[in-house]
Structure 1
Amino acid sequence: MRQGGKGKTLSSAPFRLEKEDNVEIETTSYLNNDWLELDMALVNIDTNQSYAVFQALEHYSGYDSDGAWEEGGNGKTSLLPPVAPGTYKLLIEPDAGLFSKAPSPAPAPLPIQRVAISVRHGVPVWSNYLIAMALLLVVPAISIARRSLFEKSRWEKGGAAE
């Protein structure tokens, strides 16, 4: 992105998604005491069906009386629900701190903020597996707890209970 890019909509080249599956959009930009907002839409070229994604990145660092500090990050990931197969393009409307900075003198080139955006299709959602595993462990956990309470009760009564 160049400083003069405010208000311009950027478009990716068309790409094909072969089957219905989730889509992950990952953005990376090496910000240095700056911010970047991307208002994006994954648009099906044939049907005009669109999926909105908004990502805000910021990264600030410096030094103060306590030493070095850092906040924010240079990357963001968004996961979309299953998207129908078809030909898509990614439309991007950027806004950045770069746009609000005073332009350089005429002969100098405009500042640039490099951004890498990747679109991945069919990404596994690990949280679903973790939730399923936790639910599967509930029954054995209850069984172990009941057996432990039974044994404790039996020993408290002098071992006579069976």
Structure 2
Amino acid sequence: MTVTGEGTYNIGRAFGLPAAPVLSIVPTGGAALTACLLEIPAPGPQGRPVVLPPADAHFLMLYLDAAEHAEIDADGVQGALRHVPARAICLIDLEEGASILLGHPLRAVAFVCPRPVLRDVARLAGTGEGTLRCLHGTSDPVVADLATALVPLFGAPAASRALLRHVAMALCAHLVHSHGAWP
């Protein structure tokens, strides 16, 4: 996941899909919230490693279909495969990066939510500092519905910037209100 010239994160590259469809919007000012549609076939018996490098952002993934993955810690030790149900989310802080091993086909919408965007939304809402709690395989119908609404826009000739901005603001506001890490 690298920063491209447009100021967006290349989520697809981290998952081995450099040409994956991407939507990017600047909802509050400088930083871009990026969404990527990930469709990865069965990774084979060895699985598929995914490395998300450190970033000043949170990574959010909505699993459109059930999947399995194992976390890989900073020392390279792989945890057990975890089942993640369809429409569940994982939310992680990318301050130190993260690594997983995919053990199942993956169909998901992945987001990189930069901290400056989350801070702006929290400030506008008068809540917290925009820091989020980490979640693994958690049901969140609001994120599921917002992310699913974006799926038809991936690869569309011209997605409405206003629509994308509203969805991005709604997503960030929900994350800050529902999954904020309060001091």
**TM-score normalised according to structure 2 size:** 0.30
**TM-score normalised according to structure 1 size:** 0.33
Decide which structure has greater strand share: 1
The structure number with the bigger radius of gyration is 1
